Amino acid sequence: MPRTKSRQLIPVDGLAQLSFLIHGLLERRVAEHDLSMIQTRLLGVLRDRRPTMQELAQLLSLDKSSVTGLVDRAEGRGLVVRIPSEADRRVVRVGLTGVGRALASDVASQFEGDVAIVLGRLPRTDRAALAKVVSRLLVADADARGVDLFATLDETAP
Q: Which residues bind DNA (CB under 7 A)?
A: 36, 38-39, 52-55, 61-73, 82, 85, 88-93
Beta bridge partners of 80: 96
Question: Strands, DSSP E only, in 9-140?
Answer: 80-84, 92-96
Residues 154, 132: Cα–Cα separation, whole Å: 20
* Nearest-approach distance from CB 3 to a copy of itself, in angstroms: 14
**With CB cut-offs between 5 and 8 Å by kind, which of DNA, a copy of itself, none does residue 1 bind?**
none
Site string for a copy of itself, 112-131 (x = CB under 8 A): x--xx-xx-xx-x-xxxxxx
Residues 73, 100: Cα–Cα separation, whole Å: 12
Are 56 and 71 contacting, i.e. CB atoms less than 8 angstroms apart? yes
Q: Which residues bind a copy of itself (CB under 8 A)?
A: 7-23, 26, 111-112, 115-116, 118-119, 121-122, 124, 126-138, 140-141, 143-144, 152-153, 156-157
